[in-house]
Copies of this chain bind each other. A is one copy, B any other.
Amino acid sequence: MPTMADVARRAGVSAKTVSNVLSGYPYIRESTRERVMAAVDELGYEINVTARIFRSGRTGVVGLAVPELGQPYFGELADEILEAARRRGLHVLIQPTGFTREGELAALREPRRKLVDGLLFSPAALEQADAHLLDDLGYPLVLLGEQMFSTRVDHVTMQNVEGARAATDLLLDAGRRQIAVIGMLHSPTAGSSNLRFTGYREALAARGITVDPRLLGWADDGWHRGNGARAMADVLDAGVEVDGVVAFNDALALGAMYALQVRGRSIPDDVAVVGFDDIEDAQYSMPALTTVDPGRRDIAEVAVALLHDRLTGAAPAEPVLHVADMRIVERGSTPTRR
């Protein structure tokens, strides 16, 4: 394998000049650049990225710590993030944390070993009480989601309360009053579940309706379809009438629709359903799912841009908090509005 010194010899220049050419250093005579590139081609030279990384201390790789890619929200988010990174010449090392504390702590340690320059971190197991773990990490970190907050790190998140309130309002506007919630968690974390429940509660309160505990569907084992179906079945089994459902993500909503239809409920006539996330599947369910688009593409783009700016020193001194705009996407699972 030829090295930079071989290229330099062949081109009749120094290794540093070859390095300059290959790094895009601008002040180089055109004739020199051409000579160097010709030598590169003739030798079939490919730069040894590991030597460059070692010497420069920058890998050009950022970590992405998410619970799991099989969940459509994270799979689609990962695609958006990989694309945003690619456009900036960054590679991404994905570390699925499996919803575990150890997995997330391991992801936080990784950049210290210098394999990645910074981290995009979507916590699911760590809690608000662990926020101090994000201080003085020694590398740039961008927090995603709403599991924890810190005034000391960059954070990109979504309008959880507003989204859930808008979803609930949509059902209330359609005259629904027995609105179940799917996706409650017993654990007292500051995560999406609590925020989305707050939106639900606020929407009801604004119309003077109190929360009926029999309408709360619990999904402590994860926001998968199966748990959505189970939680919906639990609510129906409790014997309470239901004419609307706010699910805390689309997978839960699709599972809930399944449970409703198995029990002979018609959607949206008997029960109207709203999800959260706008995953691709939401377009093709039967009926298609009305849902909250949390602005996923914007989240990916802003998060990567922010991390990139931190790495290049282009970001502001103060930590940035970016909240993407949500919007409701109306489809067949809710009645058409007049």
Chain A residues with a Cβ under 8 A of chain B: 46-51, 53-54, 57, 59, 61, 68-70, 72, 75-76, 78-79, 82-83, 91-96, 109, 112-115, 224-226, 229, 254-255, 257-258, 261-262, 280-281, 283-286
Q: Is the CB of B46 within 8 A of A109?
A: yes
- Given A69-B78, A75-B75 in contact, is the A225-B50 Cβ separation under 8 Å? no
- Given A94-B82, A113-B47, A286-B257 in contact, is the A280-B70 Cβ separation under 8 Å? yes
Q: Is the CB of B94 within 8 A of A92?
A: yes
* Bound CA–CA A293/B45 (angstroms): 44
Main secondary structure of the interface of A (DSSP, over half): helix
- Quote the shortest CB–CB distance from A305 to chain B (angstroms): 19
Which of A76, A115, A225, A257 has the most chain B CB within a 10 Å cutoff? A115
A281: B residues at CB distance < 8 A: 225, 254, 281
Q: Is the CB of A79 within 8 A of B70?
A: yes
A255: B residues at CB distance < 8 A: 284
- Quote the shortest CB–CB distance from A118 to chain B (angstroms): 15
Instruction: List the number of copies, as a whole number.
Output: 2
A75: B residues at CB distance < 8 A: 69-70, 72, 75, 78
* Bound CA–CA A224/B76 (angstroms): 14
- Which residue of the partner chain, among B70, B94, B229, B257, contacts A72 with CB atoms under 8 Å? B70
Q: Is the CB of A50 within 8 A of B114?
A: yes
Q: Is the CB of A112 within 8 A of B284?
A: no
Q: Is the CB of B96 within 8 A of A82?
A: yes
- Quote the shortest CB–CB distance from A211 to chain B (angstroms): 27
Q: Is the CB of A113 within 8 A of B286?
A: no
